[in-house]
Amino acid sequence: MQLRNLGTTGLRIAPLVLGGNVFGWTADEETSFAILDAFRAAEFNAIDTADVYARFAPGREGGESETVLGAWMKERGARKDIVLITKGGLEMGKGLQGLGREYLLKACDASLRRLQTDYIDVYMSHRADPSVPIEETLEAFDRLIKAGKVRYAGCSNYTAEELAAALAAAGMGRASYTVLEPYYNLVDRGEYEGAVENICRDHGLGVVCYFSLASGFLTGKYRKPEDIAARPRARLLSRYFTPRGLRLLEVLDSVSARHRATPAQVALAWLMTRPGITAPIASATAVAQLSDILKSAELALTREDLAELELNGTG
């Protein structure tokens, strides 16, 4: 398997990043360890998480994913094999949020404790914070990098305007964002393609995209509203039941049949062909599910496949 350069960072990652949002949520510790073991055994190496995972779920406080991942890395002695990506800035409790200098430094330290490591490979602003000057945020990242706690700074969910402003403010004691994590998949293309994509390519940013399977819609498991009634992400999934979305599933079926693959593998392989995309992020709640999505890295789509997916993935 060929590793890919993560932009200009000097980090090299496998073509699929494991999403850690499910750890401590829909995957308990035992299941999470099994998934992580299988991921490492297959020689994949990049894992994405955030301090706020899984605060969004009932009964969770945040930090669960980092805690599980940290326990696994320590027990397995796996830290040296992992390119670790995590994020901070979203609310972790009353007064615990934002990208101000004081809080960001504390949030990073808290992540390091949960992850049981002394450095993070890529530490990201989870979302832009308009209440804090970008210069202050980048100065905080610079301090973390100089302290050896963070290797590279990145950001997630930034608009083209926010990203351009951040890149323009870098230098003179301020870190520069070198990795972007956007919302991007075959059915949701508007937030990344265009201005954001152009900025990333012009500046050589590494790009790892999340929601790569559109909350599971692109797996083909959900074909009608009744299929998602009991799903945790039913609200997110419901918006894909449109003529365009259902037509796209038919195309995924056709392409996957030609390759004896699954729709999920095709959807991820498509992302791997996109200019400027370093790797998609995908989560798994079982080892069998992980085994399926990892095969996407071996799938070579033809020009015919790509043309068909392109035609039906737009409009």
CATH number, residue 33: 3.20.20.100
Q: Is residue 244 part of a domain?
A: no
Mean pLDDT over residues 103-111, rounded?
A: 98
What whole-number distance in Å separates Cα of residue 77 and Cα of residue 39? 15
Give the pLDDT score at 118.
Answer: 98
| Nearest Cα residue to 83 out of 157, 182, 185, 7 | 7
Q: Is the pLDDT of residue 315 over 60?
A: no
Average pLDDT, the chain: 95
User: 285 falls in which pLDDT band (50, 70, 90)?
Assistant: very high
What whole-number distance in Å separates Cα of residue 314 and Cα of residue 76? 44
Q: Is residue 311 part of a domain?
A: no
Q: Is residue 54 part of a domain?
A: yes
Residue 53 is among the residues annotated as catalytic for this protein: yes
| Number of domains forming the structure of the chain | 1
Give the pLDDT score at 301.
Answer: 98
Q: Is residue 232 part of a domain?
A: no
Marked catalytic residue, from 53, 123, 192, 210: 53
User: 218 falls in which pLDDT band (50, 70, 90)?
Assistant: very high
Domain with 125 in it: 4-214+262-299
Residues in the chain: 315
Give the pLDDT score at 197.
Answer: 98
Q: Is residue 310 part of a domain?
A: no
Collect all residues with Cβ–Cβ distance below 8 Å to 257 and sequence separation of at least 6. none
User: 239 falls in which pLDDT band (50, 70, 90)?
Assistant: confident
Q: What percent of the chain has pLDDT over 90?
A: 87
Q: Is the pLDDT of residue 123 over 90?
A: yes
Q: Is residue 172 part of a domain?
A: yes
User: 169 falls in which pLDDT band (50, 70, 90)?
Assistant: very high
Q: Is residue 152 part of a domain?
A: yes
Q: Is residue 178 part of a domain?
A: yes
